[in-house]
Amino acid sequence: MSTAVTEGDDVCAFDPCSLAIDAHARFIVAASSAEDTLEHAFTEHLRLSGMYWGLCALSVMGKLDALGDAKREEILDYVERCRGTNGGYGGGVGHDAHALYTLSAVQIYALFDASERLDVDAIVKYVQSLQLADGSFQGDEWGEVDTRFTYCVLSTLRLLNRLDAVDVDGACAYINTCRNFDGGFGATPGGESHAGQVFTCVGALAIGGRLDYVDADLLGWWLAERQVKIGGLNGRPEKLPDVCYSWWVLSALSILGRTHWIDRAALARFILRCQDESGGGISDRPDDEPDVYHTFFGIAGLSLMGHKGVVEPIDPVFALPYNVLERLGIKPWPTSTDS
């Protein structure tokens, strides 16, 4: 492993032009129209999230306009057909509304600068109905509670400028009950700390203005410990590295101002080793098959590490490009001064 990035180093100095942007853009566009594949059938239930991953990756790479107006309207029409009578959105047409896919829908409209088409009052009414007396949120009418859904609702409402529609203090206090001795957070009180849950909890607390619930040094240490010898990050101790944790771990570290606690150059090399330079796409680990999910989170991770001139800056709280947030009147999370 090369020498770790230290304070004052340029994280882009390790070959910033090695991200195969054009190939990745082609891969994402091709995946969006591959309706006759087994993978497409298997992922129908989360189609809106898949669209968000692909569109946001294109936006971060500066390639969103390449879709054209016709494809843009086709996508927005599909998203609208996923809207339920209760105001929320399902993962696909005919699927039950859920907090996660409602956020994905709002994100897609924001990426296309079409938020004015949303029925904001209906969405707000739906997500309001998901909050429970202890401040937590269930994901849908069937009652599963998870800190992920707290993030989904708070992010949705902030993007719509309606954060006052729910009990934010209660939501943040509930998240605090899910904090563990290691500084991390679980899905519910007593649940194991996991990097994905950490992002949703830290992100939600950032939106709610309650980062005082986080022990930044203790959590920062736990997150830094997620890096393995080959440079990648895992989600829990003793697990294999996975490109997706380039986002889940690094976004939380970015919010906390501690991205310099890991070897960023080694992480960037790991991500770039997972890309298919000719066919496009990024996989979970080197030599595996690429998919849109890992392509987005790999590119988002590189953006958080400052690939300026190659990819657009992405906000670590909302997982949207800075320019999208600025159109919505939301100030992006302050640029970290830890580099």
pLDDT (tens, 9 = 90+) of the chain, 339 residues, equals 333 333 334 444 445 448 999 999 999 999 877 565 646 555 666 789 999 999 999 999 999 998 999 999 999 999 999 999 999 999 999 999 999 999 999 999 999 999 999 999 999 999 999 999 999 999 999 999 999 999 999 999 999 999 999 999 999 999 999 999 999 999 999 999 999 999 999 999 999 999 999 999 999 999 999 999 999 999 999 999 999 999 999 999 999 999 999 999 999 999 999 999 999 999 999 999 999 999 999 999 999 998 765 678 999 999 999 999 999 999 999 865 454
Residue 246 has phi, psi (to 5 degrees) of -60, -30
d(CA 185, CA 195): 8
Of the candidates 5, 118, 107, 14, which has an alpha carbon nearest to the alpha carbon of residue 60? 107
- Among the candidates 95, 126, 157, a domain finishes at 126
Distance of CA 30 to the CA centre of its chain: 22
CB 75 within 8 A of CB 293: no
d(CA 111, CA 323): 9
Residue 179 has phi, psi (to 5 degrees) of -80, 140
**Residue 276 in domain:** yes
Helix (H, G, I), strand (E, B) or coil at 241: coil
CB count within 10 Å of CB 165 equals 18
**307, amino acid identity:** H
Beta-ladder partners of 185: 179
**Residue 184 in domain:** yes
220 and 325, same domain (yes or no): yes
165 and 253, same domain (yes or no): no
The tokens for 157 are: 């409402």
**Residue 50 in domain:** no
**Residue 48 in domain:** no
- Among the candidates 165, 193, 214, a domain finishes at 214
Residue with tokens 């800190």: 147
List C-alpha distances in Å: 277 to 26, 67, 87, 274: 11, 21, 41, 9
DSSP readout, 142-197? T--B-HHHHHHHHHHHHHTT-GGGS-HHHHHHHHHHTB-TTS-B-SSTTPPP-HHH
d(CA 122, CA 88): 8
Range of the domain at 311: 1-42+216-339
76 and 181, same domain (yes or no): no
List C-alpha distances in Å: 62 to 22, 78, 328, 339: 10, 23, 19, 24
- Among the candidates 92, 126, 160, a domain finishes at 126
